């Protein structure tokens, strides 16, 4: 028999009791005493420009919402809600803003859509993020870091200290590079990498998509590049490549986190994989053997052949069409067997083709030998004079000096992975330099920013790569974001120490540098 209790009128006592409980619940939400917490003490990386505190805390609770004020913030709201759910295990809905909205994150836009400037205001019952969509996303990384730091003590509820952060980056370009050629990294590994770099407000991911050891991006008009040229890697392993669908998925995934992919096809040197895939690209018409060693500087495209420029046009055209970002990187480094006059002819033609496909030519610093005009970007890695020459031709510079910014250099002579031809780069040496003064003849306005490249000769998967990337990447994120006057090693090393707890929980295989007194306090300690 089904009881017909639904038809029975509740007694007066029940009404009273239910109302009492609701009032109690509401008042406990509103008035629940919040622990004191100090926003200025939170070890955020990169360090924000200005932080003021109001001494209370915001409690992370179930059923919070992201409120958007404009349709253009819908995708961003969903991104934030998705990341919140992943981080806290609590569901978060997206809703249009209405007066009095609280218990969640309120997005507020600005007109300055090209800026990453943001304001992050944390109150007891709401968090306000104001900026362009990219700015809001950068501001949101502070909240993510604070949740991760607060989760250090699983006994505590997750509190975020209240106060106001006003912030903007010192440099517009804050990048890292992943060499997927020497060893291939899968789509999932690159996405996982993107998740992590986003947390430190990195906004460019440079993918080194081709080299002597492997061609890693499908080119439909030259299918053998990946079929044959992608079939192996350093050490003779299986290799691999991204289909065009994979690549578009990566571009989209990165865009969701306001990160731009910079595609690189390295040429005219570093091209053995292509020369092995198509005999006609060689001056002698003979295919080269696939290469699985670690030497550099022995291969070159044939500068004199017209076919070489049809090849460039096809490759650059197909990649440019899938790449919404402004840059196409042509490599240009270490072309030791390309005669000097031919190198110049090649660079000039490659630059023209890149411009034809509406991209800004970017190259390693040697490429400034070409007849560059207008908008170009030299990536300084080796020779300061080359960077200054790029500037004198009207170009901009990204700073990646190998002695300071190469993530593939060992920390010290005992490092498990890495090389040491440029330097040993411990965590302090990676942090303690200034891109604005490193090459005295470069003007600040011509420095786009910094990039920390990871070459992958000695690391064959993301776990191994993490040992080289972390914790140094946190330092590079601060070198790129925070003005030199607000940076110092003593303060940074103390903040870095507190990031170890969540890095461990996230399974990041970071190097426990003996220069850091690692600790993993809760945010309230």
Q: How far, in whole angstroms, is CA 231 from its chain's centroid?
A: 27
If binding is defined by CB under 6 A, does position 118 make contact with ligand ACM?
no
If binding is defined by CB under 6 A, does position 364 make contact with ligand ACM?
yes
Place of tokens 């609590």: 90
Told to judge if 289 belongs to the known catalytic residues of this protein, a careful annotator would answer no
- Measured CA distances, 500 to 126, 196, 416 (Å): 28, 14, 19
- Give me the 435-454 binding string for ligand ACM, x by CB under 6 A, dash otherwise: --------------------
Q: How many residues bind ligand ACM (CB under 6 A)?
A: 4
Report the alpha-carbon distance of residue 386 to residue 474 in Å, rounded: 28
Is residue 451 within 8 A of residue 172, CB to CB? The reply is no
DSSP 353-388: HHHHTT-EEEEEGGGGGS---SS-EEEESS-HHHHH
Query: Which CB, 140 or 381, lies closer to ligand ACM?
Result: 381
Query: Which CB, 167 or 365, lies closer to ligand ACM?
Result: 365
Query: Which CB, 334 or 436, lies closer to ligand ACM?
Result: 334
If binding is defined by CB under 6 A, does position 367 make contact with ligand ACM?
no
Residue closest to ligand ACM, measured at CB: 333
If binding is defined by CB under 6 A, does position 333 make contact with ligand ACM?
yes
Among 78, 334, 432, 436, binds ligand ACM (CB under 6 A): 334
DSSP 34-92: PPP--GGGS--SSPPSEEEEEEEEEEP-TTEEEEESSGGGHHHHHHHHHHHHHHHS--E
Under 8 Å CB-to-CB from 154, ≥6 apart: which residues? none
- Give me the 383-412 binding string for ligand ACM, x by CB under 6 A, dash otherwise: ------------------------------
If binding is defined by CB under 6 A, does position 264 make contact with ligand ACM?
no
Please pick, among 334, 342, 352, 436, the residue that the annotation labels catalytic. 334
Q: How far is the CB of 337 from ligand ACM (least distance, A)?
A: 15
Query: Which CB, 121 or 332, lies closer to ligand ACM?
Result: 332
For the chain, helix, strand, coil in percent to 5 are: 40, 20, 45
If binding is defined by CB under 6 A, does position 195 make contact with ligand ACM?
no
Helical H segments across 272-383, by residue range: 272-277, 306-322, 340-356
Q: How far is the CB of 404 from ligand ACM (least distance, A)?
A: 13
Report the alpha-carbon distance of residue 292 to residue 239 in Å, rounded: 10
Query: Which CB, 130 or 206, lies closer to ligand ACM?
Result: 206
If binding is defined by CB under 6 A, does position 381 make contact with ligand ACM?
yes
**Contact residues for ligand ACM, defined by CB under 6 A:** 333-334, 364, 381
The residues annotated with a catalytic role in the active site are 334
């Amino acid at each position: 028999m089904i009881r017909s209790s639904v038809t029975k009128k509740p007694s007066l006592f029940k009404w009273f009791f239910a109302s009492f409980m609701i009032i109690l619940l509401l008042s406990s939400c509103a008035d629940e005493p919040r622990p004191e917490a100090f926003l200025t003490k939170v070890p955020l990386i990169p360090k924000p420009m200005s932080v003021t505190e109001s001494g209370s805390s915001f409690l992370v609770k179930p059923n919070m919402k992201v409120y958007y004020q404009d349709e253009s913030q819908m995708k961003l709201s969903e991104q934030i809600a998705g990341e919140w759910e992943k981080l806290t295990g609590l569901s978060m809905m997206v809703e249009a803003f209405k007066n009095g909205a609280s218990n969640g994150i309120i997005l507020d836009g600005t007109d300055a859509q090209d800026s990453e400037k943001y304001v992050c205001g944390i109150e007891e019952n709401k968090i306000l993020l104001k900026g362009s969509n990219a700015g809001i996303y950068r501001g949101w990384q502070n909240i993510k870091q604070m949740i991760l730091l607060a989760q250090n003590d699983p006994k505590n509820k997750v509190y975020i200290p209240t106060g106001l952060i006003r912030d903007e980056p010192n440099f517009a370009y804050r990048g890292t590079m992943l060499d997927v050629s020497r060893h291939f990294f899968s789509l999932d590994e690159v996405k996982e990498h993107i998740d992590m770099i986003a947390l430190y407000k990195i906004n460019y991911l440079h993918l080194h998509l081709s080299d002597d050891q492997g061609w890693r991006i499908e080119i439909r008009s030259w299918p053998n590049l990946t079929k044959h040229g992608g079939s192996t890697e350093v050490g003779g392993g299986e290799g691999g490549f991204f289909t065009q669908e994979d690549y578009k998925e990566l571009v989209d995934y990165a865009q969701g986190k306001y990160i731009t992919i910079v595609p690189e096809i390295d040429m005219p040197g570093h091209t053995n994989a292509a020369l092995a895939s198509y005999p006609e690209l060689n001056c002698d018409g003979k295919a080269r053997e696939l290469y699985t060693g670690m030497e550099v500087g022995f291969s070159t495209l044939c500068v004199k052949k017209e076919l070489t420029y049809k090849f460039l046009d096809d490759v650059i055209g197909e990649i440019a069409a899938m790449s919404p970002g402004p840059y196409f990187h042509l490599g240009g480094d270490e072309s030791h067997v390309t005669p000097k006059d031919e190198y110049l002819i090649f660079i000039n033609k490659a630059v023209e083709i890149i411009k034809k496909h509406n991209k800004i030519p970017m190259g390693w610093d040697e490429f400034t030998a070409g007849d560059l005009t207008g908008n170009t970007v030299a990536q300084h890695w080796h020779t300061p004079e080359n960077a200054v020459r790029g500037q004198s031709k009207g170009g901009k510079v990204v700073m990646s000096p190998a002695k300071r910014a190469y993530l593939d250099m060992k920390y010290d002579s005992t490092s498990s992975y890495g090389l040491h031809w440029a330097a040993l780069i411990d965590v302090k040496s990676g942090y303690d330099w200034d891109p604005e003064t490193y090459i005295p003849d470069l003007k600040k306005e011509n420095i786009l920013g910094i990039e920390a490249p990871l070459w992958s000769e000695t690391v064959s998967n993301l776990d191994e790569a993490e040992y080289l990337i972390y914790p140094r990447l946190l330092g590079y994120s601060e070198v790129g974001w925070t003005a030199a006057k607000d940076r110092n090693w003593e303060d940074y090393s103390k903040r870095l120490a507190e990031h170890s707890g969540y890095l461990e929980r996230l399974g990041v295989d970071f190097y426990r540098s003996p220069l850091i007194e690692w600790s993993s306090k809760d945010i309230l300690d």
